[in-house]
Amino acid sequence: MKKDYFRPAIAAMAGYMPGEQPDRKDMVKLNTNENPYPPSPEVEKTLRTLDCAQLRRYPNSTSDCVRDAAARLNGAARENIIAGNGSDDLLTMIFRAFTSPDLPMASINPSYTLYQDLAVMQEASVILIDLQPRTFALPPDLLEQAKVANLLMIARPNSPTGNSFPFAEVENICRKFDGMVVIDEAYADFADDTCMSLALSLPNVIVMRTMSKSYALAGVRVGYAVSSPAVIEGLMKLKDSYNVDGIAQAVAAAAMGDRAYLAGRVAAIKAARAKLAADLGGLGFEVVDSRANFVFARPPRGDGRGYFEFLRDRGVFIRFFDRPRTREYVRITVGTPEEMDILTGLTREYLKK
Ligand SMILES: *Cc1c(COP(=O)(O)O)cnc(C)c1O
């Protein structure tokens, strides 16, 4: 097919580049923030007792069992919640709803680059608001910079930097910004606090969660968004009719019901995160204060690419973002203690070079 049948905005775009999913048995995979542990045993139980005959039927179109499980977890009602085929699906709905050629999107930078790609698909202009050097804190003039936008994206904790932002600062932004604020809380289970209360009390705030990271269900594709019933009703108009498949709905609801399992795995990952940060710090890395299941760090000579390639050649995959503000750093997913030992061992070798 000839490329020029595409809308010019689509023909000109590169397309989002997801993290590599190499097909190697022996590798240590620390590049896409997956959970190193399996999901709750309730997930396996759900799959074993699945009635395959029911698969001939369409699933519940609004994923009500997922909404009810999420409502219980967050002190919300079913009407406050919409489920998606991963949070990426929710982001698609959100960008269709709140951006257009005359409704710009603002995002902190660096952050999840999919936000920019989704804006380009809408032909909406993109306002990038640079975080402060080294600390990656919010700039004091964020509201001024975001002023003309209709949608403001804040990942909290942020990716790839891993840090969080003070609740009071985010609350102030939500109260003063004249547009929709989306707080992407993909990593909130690894953090100390959440902005869920803002989504449930302010009319212009959406908080997003995913089952992909803390619940170890990236392969299943379920996320949800929380907001006022009016915003949720509006987003429902934009979703695919059966956007979450029946197996995914059952599995996600079962996982959300097992709070003790989640707490145990999150505690293990936080302990490994603290050790990784301390070890890298001891080796001369500059380590950003992480509230997520990964660490953003600058190797001693600031050669993010060299360190990334050194590890990759030895079967350890981390993430390197080749952009001006991130190329001196790498992002390392927190794995098991054994995986972290392999990483720090190779890091010592790298530093001897
Ligand atoms: C991983 C991630 C997501 C994507 O989550 P899915 O539910 O797997 O689509 C969304 N936002 C951020 C910031 C992420 O890191």
- Segment 169-201, tens digit of pLDDT: 999 999 999 999 999 999 999 999 999 999 999
User: What is the CATH class of 8-39+260-351?
Assistant: alpha beta
Ligand 1 atom showing the smallest separation from residue 211 Cα: 7
Fold of 41-258: Aspartate Aminotransferase; domain 2 (3.40.640)
pLDDT tens, position by position, 75-108: 999 999 999 999 999 999 999 999 999 999 999 9
DSSP calls for 87-126: HHHHHHHHHHHH-BTTB-EEEEESS-THHHHHHHHTT--E
Using a 6 Å CB cutoff, which residues line ligand 1?
33, 86-88, 112, 155, 159, 184, 186, 210, 212, 218, 223
pLDDT at 2: 59
Q: For ligand 1, atom 11, which residue shows the shortest CA distance?
A: 186
User: Any idea where the domains of the chain sit in the sequence?
Assistant: 8-39+260-351, 41-258
Which stretches of the chain are assigned E, i.e. beta strand? 28-29, 81-84, 105-109, 126-130, 151-155, 180-184, 205-210, 223-226, 286-287, 294-298, 316-317, 330-333
Tell me if domain 8-39+260-351 and domain 41-258 are identical in fold. no
Question: Which of 87, 163, 182, 209 is the pocket-test mutation for ligand 1 (most atoms within 8 Å of CB)?
Answer: 87
Q: For the residues 39-47, what does the mean pLDDT come to? A: 98
User: Residue 129 forms beta bridges with which residues?
Assistant: 108
pTM for the whole thing?
0.96
Instruction: Say yes or no to pLDDT of 19 above 80.
Output: no
User: How many angstroms separate the alpha carbon of residue 275 from the centre of ligand 1?
Assistant: 25
